[in-house]
Amino acid sequence: MESLAGLPLNFPALTSEIINANLPALFIVSAGFDPSKELQEHADKTIGRDNFKELSMGGNQNDLALEMLKEAAKKGQWLCLKNLHLVVSFLNQLEQEFRALPDRSDKFRLFLTTESHPKFPSILLDGCFKISYEAPPGIKQNLTRIVSAQSSDFSTGDQGKLQFALCYFHALIQERRNYIPQGWTKSYEFNYGDFRAGTNLVIEVTQQSNISWNMLYGLMQDTVYGGRIDNEVDLDMLRVLLLEYFHPEVLAGKRAVFNGLAISSPAEIQKNLPALDNPLIYGLPFSIDRTVQRLNSNELVNNLKIVTSADA
């Protein structure tokens, strides 16, 4: 299996060199990670938004999926069918219908997404180009992937600087999930869609004559990221992090983002981030690793006890 996890995902290479009309691309995703937003952005630039179709499976969508498949193949569109793990009983039919398509344009592309499932049909699995899609391990790799997908000049202008602050902030809140329950009390599905919504907000506030920081805080907290949070302690932490990285002094270069470096030095920040995460980056005590290891060990022991008691 090819794996692109941990690397900037090269959608142009996937769509122009690797994938053809006879080979679907199957993204095997971790819970909370969805490549469809990035795929849609690439499709907008390549074939136009009107020629990219997507459908989330589940809820009796099988017949509609087959209709969209035939139409996309005939018209040369790109089709993305998401969450196939919810409809594993339908997948053999999907594979058969794909192979039997009578009219298939050379421009046609089929993309599929699924979480790992023990009953996923091997025939469909073997007939796809498989890509493992998950968050890169560590804040340095996570930030590199986000930044590489952007076209901004991060070192100049209020918009570019705030955009880099958003990249750093997004990577940081994702990686804090590795330190539950101290980083967050639970795992939240902060994803690329949230980042794009944050990007649109940054563009909007920086186009005003004076940046409305209260509007930026309010929408980031209540809608973009805070909309996923259902715990008051975590919401308080989100407020603290927003004030830390979205602040007039940060924009002016008077407050460091990392290791004494301001957001006007994005390349230096990326270069100096450690390859292995240090909990201090997240504002957490260095001893937090031991706490996480202890919790994971206790969970493993409890699971073994459950399995042992079931066998007895």
What CATH number does the domain containing 250 carry? 1.10.8.720
* End-to-end CA separation in angstroms for the chain: 38
Residue 240 lies in a domain: yes
Q: State residue 292's pLDDT score.
A: 66
Mean pLDDT of 221-245: 93
* Judgement on whether residues 143 and 228 belong to the same structural domain of the protein: yes
Number of domains in the chain: 2
φ, ψ for residue 275, nearest 5 deg: -65, -35
Q: Are 134 and 33 in contact (CB under 8 A)?
A: yes
* Judgement on whether residues 105 and 16 belong to the same structural domain of the protein: yes
* Judgement on whether residues 145 and 273 belong to the same structural domain of the protein: yes
Q: What is the dihedral of CA 203, 204, 207, 210, to 10 degrees?
A: -120
Query: Which of 231, 211, 117, 127 shows the shortest CA–CA distance to 165?
Result: 211
Q: Are 29 and 35 in contact (CB under 8 A)?
A: yes
* Judgement on whether residues 194 and 96 belong to the same structural domain of the protein: no
Residue 309 lies in a domain: no
* Judgement on whether residues 239 and 153 belong to the same structural domain of the protein: yes
* Judgement on whether residues 106 and 184 belong to the same structural domain of the protein: no
- Confidence at 45, pLDDT banded by 50, 70, 90: confident
Place of tokens 């809608």: 223
Q: State residue 309's pLDDT score.
A: 65
Boundaries of domain holding 229: 139-294
* Judgement on whether residues 276 and 143 belong to the same structural domain of the protein: yes
- Confidence at 311, pLDDT banded by 50, 70, 90: low
Query: Which of 199, 192, 139, 223 shows the shortest CA–CA distance to 29?
Result: 192
* Judgement on whether residues 75 and 109 belong to the same structural domain of the protein: yes
φ, ψ for residue 133, nearest 5 deg: -120, 110
* Residue 127 belongs to domain with CATH number: 3.40.50.300
* Judgement on whether residues 146 and 260 belong to the same structural domain of the protein: yes
Residue 304 lies in a domain: no
Residue 5 lies in a domain: no
Query: Which of 19, 53, 36 shows the shortest CA–CA distance to 130?
Result: 19
Q: Which residues of 5-16 are buried (b: 16+ CB within 10 A; e: fewer)?
A: bbeebebeebbe
Which of 133, 153, 183 is at the close of a domain?
A: 133
* Judgement on whether residues 199 and 77 belong to the same structural domain of the protein: no
Q: State residue 13's pLDDT score.
A: 63
Q: What is the dihedral of CA 40, 42, 43, 48, to 10 degrees?
A: 110
- Confidence at 253, pLDDT banded by 50, 70, 90: confident
